[in-house]
C-alpha cells in the first residue's frame, strides 16, 4: 500500500470518487435536504437581521459562507456514516485501496458537493439580498472553489475521526470550526469583494491566504489520514 505508484493512486481516487458520487446521486433525498438546509439558512439570516436590503447585501459574503459552513457539517458528517453502516471502509482497505486515495476521493467529493451548493445559492442571494456579482462569475467560481476545498480537507480528516467517536455530532463542529476560521475569513472577504467590486485590488491577497491554507491542510490530510483510519 505504501509506495503505490502515482498513476494507480490517481486511478483509485477516480474510482472511489465515482462510487461516492453515484451513491450521492442515487440517494438524492440527502442532497435535497442539504440544499434546502442551506437555502433555509440564507433565508433565516434575512429574518434575523431584518428586511434591510442594504445590510443584507453588504454582509452577503459572510452569510453565504456561514450557510455553506453549516451545510458542510451535515455533508461531512454523512460522508463516513455511509461507509460505516455496512463496514465498507474495512472492505475498501482490504481491497486494498490506498488510504491516501480514500482521503483524496472523500475530500474531493465533499468539496464538489459544497461547490454545487455554492453555485445554487447565488441566484437565491441575488433574489433575497439584492446583490450583484460585480467581478464576474469567474471570480465567484474561483472563490467558491478555493473556499470549499479549504473546508473539505480538514473537514474530511475530522469527520473520519468524529464518526467513530462518541458525541460525533458535537465533536465535528467543535474540531472544525476554530480550525477553519482563517479560511472562512478569507473566503467571506473575497466573496464580498467579488460581489461589491475590488477598487483597492485586495482580492489577490485573500486568494493567496486561501491557497496557502489549502496547500497546508490538503498536505497534512494526505500524510496523516492513513493513521486516522487504521485499526
Partner 1 sequence: MTAAALGLLVLGNWMGLVWTPSEREMGDVYRIIYVHVPAMWMAMLTLTVNFSCCVAYLLQSSWKTDALAEATAEVGLLFGSYGLVLGAIWGKPTWGTYWDWDPRLTAMAIMLVTYVAYMALRRFVEDPERRAVWSSVVGIISFVNLPIVWFSVKWWRSLHQVQSTPKTVDPDMTLALRVNAWASLILLTLFLLHRYRIALATREAEVAMPEALPTDVPGSRDNRASEVA
- Kindly list the residues in this chain that would bind partner 1 in the complex (CB under 8 A): 154, 157-158, 161, 164-167, 170-171, 174-175, 178-179, 181-182, 216-217, 220, 224, 227-228, 230
What angle (nearest 5°) sits at the alpha carbon of residue 192, between those of residues 42 and 217?
85
Helices (H), 27-132: 28-49, 53-58, 60-85, 88-94, 99-129
Give me the least distance between CB of 116 and partner 1, in Å please. 26
Give me the least distance between CB of 186 and partner 1, in Å please. 13
Q: How far is CA 67 from CA 27, 35, 36, 190, in A?
A: 22, 10, 11, 16
Residue 115 or 175 with smaller CB distance to partner 1: 175
Give me the least distance between CB of 84 and partner 1, in Å please. 14
What angle (nearest 5°) sits at the alpha carbon of residue 112, between those of residues 140 and 158?
110
Residue 160 or 194 with smaller CB distance to partner 1: 160
Closest to 171 in 3D by CA, of 184, 159, 157: 159
Give me the least distance between CB of 62 and partner 1, in Å please. 14
d(CA 185, CA 188): 5
Give me the least distance between CB of 217 and partner 1, in Å please. 7
Residue 14 or 62 with smaller CB distance to partner 1: 62
CA atoms within 13 A on the CB side of 69: 24
Residue 34 or 171 with smaller CB distance to partner 1: 171
Residue 75 or 175 with smaller CB distance to partner 1: 175
Amino acid at each position: 500500500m505504501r509506495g503505490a505508484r502515482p498513476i494507480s493512486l490517481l486511478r483509485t481516487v477516480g474510482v472511489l470518487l465515482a462510487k461516492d458520487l453515484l451513491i450521492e446521486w442515487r440517494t438524492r433525498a440527502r442532497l435535497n435536504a442539504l440544499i434546502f438546509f442551506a437555502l433555509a439558512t440564507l433565508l433565516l439570516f434575512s429574518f434575523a437581521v431584518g428586511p434591510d436590503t442594504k445590510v443584507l447585501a453588504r454582509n452577503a459574503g459572510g452569510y453565504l459562507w456561514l450557510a455553506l459552513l453549516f451545510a458542510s457539517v451535515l455533508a461531512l458528517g454523512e460522508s463516513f456514516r455511509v461507509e460505516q453502516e455496512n463496514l465498507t471502509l474495512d472492505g475498501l482497505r482490504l481491497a486494498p485501496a490506498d488510504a491516501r486515495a480514500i482521503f483524496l476521493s472523500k475530500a474531493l467529493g465533499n468539496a464538489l458537493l459544497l461547490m454545487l451548493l455554492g453555485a445554487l445559492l447565488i441566484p437565491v442571494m441575488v433574489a433575497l439580498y439584492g446583490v450583484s456579482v460585480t467581478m464576474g462569475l469567474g471570480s465567484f467560481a474561483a472563490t467558491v472553489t478555493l473556499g470549499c476545498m479549504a473546508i473539505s480537507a480538514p473537514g474530511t480528516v475530522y469527520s473520519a475521526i468524529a464518526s467513530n467517536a462518541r458525541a460525533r455530532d458535537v465533536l465535528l463542529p467543535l474540531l472544525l470550526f476554530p480550525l477553519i476560521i482563517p479560511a472562512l475569513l478569507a473566503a467571506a472577504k473575497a466573496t464580498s469583494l467579488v460581489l461589491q467590486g475590488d477598487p483597492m485590488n485586495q482580492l489577490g491577497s485573500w486568494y493567496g491566504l486561501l491557497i496557502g491554507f489549502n496547500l497546508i491542510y490538503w498536505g497534512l490530510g494526505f500524510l496523516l489520514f492513513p493513521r486516522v483510519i487504521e485499526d
